[in-house]
Structure 1
Amino acid sequence: MNIIQSNSIPLDKVIMDISDSLNTKLIQECSEFTLEIPPEWGEGTIKAIDFQNGLGLIRYDCTFKEDLEIRFIVNDVHPLKFLYGLEGEFHHRFENEEELHKIKQYQNAIVASSGNNGHILYFKGNNKTAINSLEVTRFDFREQLKCELKTLEKTLSDLFNDVKAVKSFYFKGYYSLVIAHLFNKILDLGDGDFARRIFLEGIAYNMLGEEILHYQDSLKKDGDGTKGLLSRIEVKLIDEATLVIKNNLGDLGTIEDISKQVGLNANKLQDGFQKVYGKSVNGYVKQERLDLASYLLLNTDKQMGEIVEIIGLNSKSYFSKIFREAYGVSPLQFRKTNFTEKQQRIQKKYEK
């Protein structure tokens, strides 16, 4: 296993140390730094940008040829880190501890070491890994936001105010869809210029605000066992649930069956469909059945009983009832009519 080490703080010195260890050129544009992983080590980039008020951002987007540890070791209080797994997986441990914390895609960790103990990041060889690390120098950050920090939930307030790193802190979860969208915004920004710098700083603060909301949300649950925010992995599982529904309309199980199949509890599944699609799971299933029935009516000569069976219903009269409620005409009348804008949408949906 290869080991490189940074013995510096702040962020600009950190990435200079990494550049020196890799023996590669460091490109600087104002307060933004970029290095390319040399071919003998692997491929990819590491980028860093230092903002005001003790806030900075490092992005690792790389594949190393061999297992690699990056050790952040310096006799000083280390920044509070918000680590986000964007692709692949990596491990984190504190300098004074042996325990490795695995952080997978869509997961995030809030880590703060105690005293002057550092952090170690472990990258597995021949595995593409993308990480965003939002770094907070707590002394500088607190000086600017002393009043606002008083309003935080106690655990977070203590964490941000622990400028001497009396206690270590570790929390792992799945980051929210909002934070995932912020990562995409970072990727969409162009080359370094004044506007990019302002946008990046705004996104960094937005990320921190969303992370605070997400952490506070993780501490509480609604009466039905759900939380207020959807994580990126939960949205992925909800997407999987929609595929289960679409591929099994004719023989669809209960909501509990669907939730077990995708690995998300039924309450969270219901809550997720409401947030993503604006309707319950049953409401989504009903719309899918109506869309498929409409397509079959317009594009096949199947009899009504066949269509009812294909879409997973048992009663022709019930089908006619919900169809009339949705379209204002009976299924047979619908079959005889010309295309409307809604019908064209359905046509395109099933002919992709």
Structure 2
Amino acid sequence: MDDIQISHNIIDYHSFETTKFADDTNFVRLHIGLGGSYDFNFKQINRSFLLSGYHNNIMYSDGLDIEVHNNTKRIETLGINFSTNTFIEIGQNGNEPLKRFTDKVINRKNCILSDEWKTNNFKIRQVLREIIDCTYNDQLRNLFLLSKSIELLVLQAELHEHQNSNKTIKSGRDKQKLIEAREFLSYRIDNPPTIVELSKQVGVNEYKLKKGFKELFGTTVFGYIHKTRMFMAKQLLLETGKPSKEIAYETGYSSPQHFSNAFKKEFGISPNCVRNNPDSVTKALKNSSNLDFNQMKKL
């Protein structure tokens, strides 16, 4: 688009090496990690970071001169570059962290939103997936990607709204263990472990697991399980021909009735309504912030 560039990057390396990137562009850059581990040196802000897993930050630089040393054989990232004028128009109406950042952009001062790279929460991961999977064409595609780019900016700024000085997670090692806990839950979503089992699996005590998980991902362990199950169920109902009974068991519910009650409470419609009454589904999708434009279009 004219004022926004979006790139989804998957880089496979044959060895562990340092790669340099340089250009003279002037952008506000949303940098989101989707996988892999790497050392990241940003000359313009004179900072170096060790990044891994799912992370994000916002940076501004007049020109770009960076070095990346891969610590894994694959790195996956997504980047959104806003022109300075477009970003300033949006950012000066944001929350306090975003306003402070925007003031630096206005004064052409190279900067980063936060020294702490935040972990991609559930909402951010959903928007990222919507961007990557976008199937709109032509002008609708640009409009959709514009709206999602702004939504992603808002969600990132929201992560920095309240800085908590009494954080439970203070070391990179603990943070990595919680990321492992979330990934383990994702693989076992149909039969998730108990808190005790998960605590032993990743090697972190129960208190730190429960409090740190909420601190890092913006939801409880059980909240993450519920949201992931609902997202999976929604996708299966809309994109496959599987009966709702089969989907209920596949997503870990003990009975179709329990699944139906949970789905209706989350989205305002029953699973069967998705199949039997498309018009009602379309209306519900429009009224639900939990569902995305891709599924709306597919209906």
Q: TM-score, normalised by structure 2?
A: 0.56
Are 2:151 and 1:206 equivalent residues in the alignment?
Answer: yes
Q: Which runs of 5+ in 1 are unaligned?
A: 1-49, 280-339, 346-352
Select which of 22, 32, 41 maps to 1:72: 22
**Counterpart residue type for residue 36 of structure 2:** G
**Counterpart residue type for residue 138 of structure 2:** D
Which of the two has greater helix per residue? 2
Query: How many matched pairs?
Result: 218
Give the root-mean-square deviation of aligned CA atoms.
4.5
**Counterpart residue type for residue 202 of structure 1:** S
More contact order relative to length (CA 8 Å, sep ≥ 6)? 2
Equivalent runs, 1:155-194 vs 2, <5 Å: 155-162=97-104, 163-169=106-112, 170-171=114-115, 172-190=117-135, 193-194=138-139
Give the superposition deviation at 1:68.
5.2
Give the superposition deviation at 1:212.
1.0
Residues 1:60 and 1:254: Cα distance change in structure 2 (over 3 Å): closer
Residues 1:224 and 1:201: Cα distance change in structure 2 (over 3 Å): closer
Residues 1:192 and 1:341: Cα distance change in structure 2 (over 3 Å): closer
The structure with the largest alpha-carbon Rg is 1
Residues 1:185 and 1:248: Cα distance change in structure 2 (over 3 Å): closer
Per the alignment, residue 142 of structure 2 pairs with: 197
CA contact (8 A) 1:106 1:232 kept: no
Residues 1:343 and 1:110: Cα distance change in structure 2 (over 3 Å): closer
Give the superposition deviation at 1:178.
1.0
Equivalent runs, 1:12-31 vs 2, <5 Å: none
> Structure 1 CA distance, aligned partners of 2:8 and 2:180?
23
Equivalent runs, 1:153-302 vs 2, <5 Å: 153=96, 155-162=97-104, 163-169=106-112, 170-171=114-115, 172-190=117-135, 193-217=138-162, 219-220=163-164, 237-238=181-182, 240=184, 253=196, 260-261=203-204, 264-269=208-213, 272-277=220-225
Per the alignment, residue 12 of structure 1 pairs with: none
What fraction of aligned residue pairs are identical, expressed as a percent? 10
Q: TM-score, normalised by structure 1?
A: 0.48
**Counterpart residue type for residue 23 of structure 2:** I
> Structure 2 CA distance, aligned partners of 1:102 and 1:125?
9
Q: Which runs of 4+ in 1 moved over 6 A?
A: 223-226, 246-249, 254-259
Residues 1:239 and 1:105: Cα distance change in structure 2 (over 3 Å): closer
CA contact (8 A) 1:95 1:117 kept: no
CA contact (8 A) 2:178 2:209 kept: no
Equivalent runs, 1:18-57 vs 2, <5 Å: 50-52=1-3, 55-57=4-6
- Equivalent residue of 1:103, what SS? strand
CA contact (8 A) 2:27 2:84 kept: yes
> Structure 2 CA distance, aligned partners of 1:60 and 1:233?
25
Residues 1:266 and 1:341: Cα distance change in structure 2 (over 3 Å): closer
Per the alignment, residue 288 of structure 1 pairs with: none
Residues 1:262 and 1:138: Cα distance change in structure 2 (over 3 Å): farther
